Amino acid sequence: MSELRYDGRVAVVTGAGHGLGRQHALELAARGAKVVVNDLGGDRSGVGASAGPAQEVVDEIKKNGGEAVANPDNVATPEGAQAVIQSALDAFGKVDIVVNNAGILRDKSFKNMSVEEFDAVIAVHLRGSFLVSSAAWSHLREQGYGRIVNTSSPAGLFGNFGQANYSTAKMGLVGFTKTLAQEGAKYNIKANAIAPVAWTRMTEDLLPADFADKLGVDQVTPLVAWLVHESNEDSGEVYTVGGGRIAKIFVAEGPGYGQNTTLSVEDVRDNWAAISAAEPLTVFKNVGEQMGPLIQQLTS
Ligand code: NAI
């Protein structure tokens, strides 16, 4: 079987100074991509900054014979995100691949969560992914090629105690990914999202320690690398990945209930079983398709 290569491709990986992003950057560089290693270099909660982590990953890539440049900017600001993409243009003349991976945690039960804790997490994960993608978008469109991976989370898709800020950002990234996939389709820009599980500084006190060695970051990167490869044709999808397992996650709609007379609250009560039914499920490609059953009912 032929090896998947990224020769001639330029990849930007945000938050690549540690954990998952570092592994994505190392793997893409080892397979021929030129990589911008972005990392603000703060602690797990996003406090502080240091150019060290990004530079260390660049040094490692170069030692292994690869090509990379470090970028220490903050993806959560428009100037920082612009500078991340500008690093790729300055060093390598273009950008083909964007992996939005940078993230922080400010966990608190909802009762105790401050506006600052909410905003800080939204800013890095959701706003950061928007800003970096936005800075890259015109370049991807003009060249008629792009691959974007956004980093969501099972906590966003299914909810998690103490993570109202984080789960909001991570589910937001699903909608963002699906819209980018639709807007990017005619320019050969594919956008997908991952919901990973891996043992990093972000999760080392949250995941069961027994599984630490099986939940390596190297068990997530192969999916990311596949999604940003030119041979990947899928777009707008979400996958959970970790510990050697990958599964596609669907946003799906049940069969539902409809009537052609004005709906009352009693109608809702009396038809609750049909409204709540989970079989058969339909996965729609876009909101136009999702309107299908309603249009059918309105015209029947
Ligand atoms: P990590 O803490 O090792 O890596 C995150 C990196 O992002 C750090 O190096 C940090 O300095 C950088 N960063 C933070 N704010 C930044 C900013 N404003 N600008 C630039 N860089 C910034 O954590 P990990 O686990 O590798 O997380 C990577 C991504 O994966 C995050 O988005 C996280 O939410 C997501 N994720 C991780 C899971 C896991 O099990 N490790 C589970 C679900 C999602």
Alpha helices by DSSP H, the chain = 19-30, 52-63, 78-92, 115-122, 128-143, 154-158, 164-184, 221-227, 265-270, 272-276, 287-290, 292-299
Given this model, what pLDDT does residue 1 score? 75
The verdict on whether 166 is a catalytic residue reads: yes
Measure Cα distances from 208 to 3, 108, 198, 213, 216 in Å. 34, 20, 11, 11, 13
Residue ranges lining ligand 1, Cβ < 6 Å? 14-15, 17-21, 38-42, 44, 46, 53, 74-76, 101-104, 124-125, 128, 151, 153, 196-198, 200-203
| Region class of 256: left (phi > 0), else alpha (psi between -120 and 50), else beta | left
Compute, in angstroms, the gap from residue 47 CA to the centroid of ligand 1. 13
**213-248: pLDDT as tens digits:** 999 999 999 999 999 999 999 999 999 999 999 999
- Region 55-77: mean pLDDT is 98
Q: What is the DSSP letter of 123?
A: I
Q: Which of 166, 187, 239, 257 is catalytic?
A: 166
- Beta bridge pairs of residue 38: 71
Name the residue at shortest CA distance from atom 31 of ligand 1: 103
- Region 186-201: mean pLDDT is 98
Give the pLDDT band of residue 113 (cuts 50, 70, 90). very high
Compute, in angstroms, the gap from residue 274 CA to the centroid of ligand 1. 41
Compute, in angstroms, the gap from residue 19 CA to the centroid of ligand 1. 7
**1-59: pLDDT as tens digits:** 799 999 999 999 999 999 999 999 999 999 999 999 999 999 999 999 999 999 999 99
Given this model, what pLDDT does residue 53 score? 97
Identity of residue 181: A
- Beta bridge pairs of residue 72: none
Mutate to test the pocket of ligand 1, among 18, 75, 166 (most ligand atoms within 8 A of CB): 18
Name the residue at shortest CA distance from atom 3 of ligand 1: 19
Nearest atom in ligand 1 to the alpha carbon of residue 197 is 40
- Classified as helix, coil or strand, 5 is coil
Name the residue at shortest CA distance from atom 33 of ligand 1: 103
What is this structure's pTM?
Answer: 0.98
Give the pLDDT band of residue 172 (cuts 50, 70, 90). very high
Compute, in angstroms, the gap from residue 3 CA to the centroid of ligand 1. 28
Query: What share of the chain has pLDDT > 90, as a percent?
Result: 98
Compute, in angstroms, the gap from residue 190 CA to the centroid of ligand 1. 22
